[in-house]
Structure 1
Amino acid sequence: MANPSCLLYAFLLLVAFQSTMINANTVIHTPQCRPVAASSNEKIIFSVNLLLYQAQFLLHASIGVGINDVSPGLVQGPAPIGATTANFSNSVRRVIEEVGLVTVGHLRALVQAEILDAPITSPLIDVSAEAYAAFVNVAFNVSTLTPPFNIYANSPSFVAAAKLVTGIGLSQAVGLGVLRTLLNDVINSTLSNRTSEVVNQLGGCGVKAEGLIVPLQLGAENRTTSNVVPADVNSLAYVRFEREILRIVYGTGNATMPGGLYPGGFIGSLNRRIRDLQLS
């Protein structure tokens, strides 16, 4: 495994330079699709909201424990809503567990580097099957699927919906790529494509989420139909800014209206500024 200090340095670079990471074919048309002015520390804390969710979500889904069971006293705050152990094969479970454990390590490294104080305050997060079913219902334009969608029912359902979390964070490309590669052979391409469409719709800043299978002309160098990490024509990963992220994870399409995966909203001064200035 890579040196923890190297991993932390890479994470901090991604966060600190978020506002300059604009890809060659990315066009920012409106103020709603631009970064919000913030310090590096504010951006790190904003991103920690995503790391906390990812760690709790993947650990509970794989081995039925949370962050403090792995690293006692690392976090404080309300218990996740609807935590459930998923119906995975043993091989899939091990990979999901590893990505969750790696995320805990990233959080602990931020404390050890004195960037964050321990215990880290966690927002209220909703990892329930119902929270994800709400996104999928929108994807299929129904009030409720029959039977209701259950992200924890099997591996294909999990990976298709889990990219709502692992696919939008600043440091999530590795975790997302692992999940997508591992489960590519059991993909429900319709579900994957539909949920990607919902993510793009909620984000409101163009097509940045893509399915796991794409037409050849959209694959890497027009040579693949697999799509391990969504990327532009130059295979550069798309960047989402703060308000895009909030619109998606809240499930409301509005960065000032919490809901969805974060019923109480993000924590941190950057989120408060977005809310107070009504930067929807």
Structure 2
Amino acid sequence: MPDDQKIIEVFEAREGRRASRRDMFRGFAAASAAAGGFVLANKSSPVAAQSVSDGDILNFALNLEYLEAQFYVYAASGAGLPESLLSGTGTRGQATGGRRVNFTDPAVAAYAREIAADEQAHVAFLRGALGSAAVAQPAIDISANPNGAFSTAARAAGLIGPGQSFDPYASDENFLLAAYIFEDVGVTAYKGASPLVSNKTFLEAAAGILAVEAYHASLVRTTLYAKGMQTPALIDASIAISNARDSLDGSSDLDQGLTTSQMSGGTASNIAPLDANGLAYSRSPGQVLNIVYLNNMAVTGGGFFPNGVNGTLRMSAAN
């Protein structure tokens, strides 16, 4: 069976398993509205203080899922998300520059296909939960152009020099480093947004996606670390990317690379980046946008989202 057909079947199987869950969300929203209860635009106390609704938060997450899904689906299959998953409110944009990776490691290829299917399912799930309030996919840059987002991020991390390009589709290792940029940010984004979600049903859904993003991040970090044992430059690159992210999201030093730390009996990998209490750390929506916009100032676009994200939460933090 051709690889493309296998990928399509994986997507279709996972979509079928999640269809009933999306139906539950639509039924819940309709029942709540009919009863005069919670609707997406309603604001509870912690959300209202920031003039942000649960719908705003889910749409913010949807923008990030568009980015991740387009990158992984292109890398795994050579084609982007289906048109049926791209419409919505706000300005519809295109995902540019994606292409298939000619993987040489069968394990990395299998990981890419799995993550691609998961991220496409996240897009479909959030769009189903939001219904007509779902934002459209904004313009997304996942190209290997010298002035594109990946190259700009790699240049900021010191991985390439002026005028050079970073091609995330050129090799298994480049793909993993590009995935590393996204996955850690996704985990911290969902962790940071969770206290702002007022409805328990939506909070449970966000927790479920957070867990999957954490699995993905762990998979990417573990694979990079294992390959880095033979090619230390990969571990060095993870530290450089971590430092670059830290330079964008404020004065706190939260981000962590794959460096080892001395433990009793030897060294330990740093697969799970945690705080002093062993907990995953958080980023605010503004800090997340600092990273994906590749800008430490308060702006409304740039980097992976040249024209910004769609929805209410679209300005990065002033750092």
TM-score of the superposed pair, with normalisation by structure 1: 0.76
What is the match of residue 206 of structure 2?
A: none
What is the match of residue 174 of structure 1?
A: 215
What is the match of residue 189 of structure 1?
A: 235
1:86-137 CA-partner distances (Å, limit 9, x unpaired):
2322321121121111111122223333x23387510111111232121111
1:141-186 CA-partner distances (Å, limit 9, x unpaired):
864276x432222222222232222211223222211222233211
SS at match of 2:122: helix
CA distance in 2, matches of 1:41, 1:223: 47
Instruction: Give identity over the alignment, percent.
Output: 27
1:1-280 matches, within 5 Å, as 4=18, 5=21, 37-68=51-82, 73-76=84-87, 77-88=92-103, 89-113=105-129, 115-117=130-132, 120-130=135-145, 131-140=149-158, 143-144=161-162, 148-169=165-186, 170=190, 171=210, 172-187=213-228, 188-216=234-262, 225-271=268-314, 274=315
SS at match of 1:167: helix
CA distance in 2, matches of 1:176, 1:116: 28
SS at match of 2:308: coil
- The CA deviation at 1:261 is 0.7
**Aligned residues of 1:205 and 1:244 also touching (Cα < 8 A):** no
Alignment CA distance shift 1:122-1:96 (3 Å)? same
Cα RMSD between the aligned structures?
3.1
Structure 1: gaps spanning 5 or more residues: 10-18, 21-34
SS at match of 2:131: coil
Q: How many aligned positions are there?
A: 243
CA distance in 1, matches of 2:84, 2:265: 48
**Aligned residues of 1:161 and 1:195 also touching (Cα < 8 A):** no
SS at match of 1:183: helix
- Which one has a larger percent helix, Structure 1 or Structure 2? 2
**Aligned residues of 2:301 and 2:307 also touching (Cα < 8 A):** yes
**Aligned residues of 2:94 and 2:138 also touching (Cα < 8 A):** no
Relative contact order, higher structure (CA 8 A, sep 6+): 1
TM-score of the superposed pair, with normalisation by structure 2: 0.67
Alignment CA distance shift 1:112-1:257 (3 Å)? closer
**Aligned residues of 2:63 and 2:309 also touching (Cα < 8 A):** yes
Structure 2: gaps spanning 5 or more residues: 1-13, 26-44, 191-209, 229-233
Name the larger-Rg structure.
2
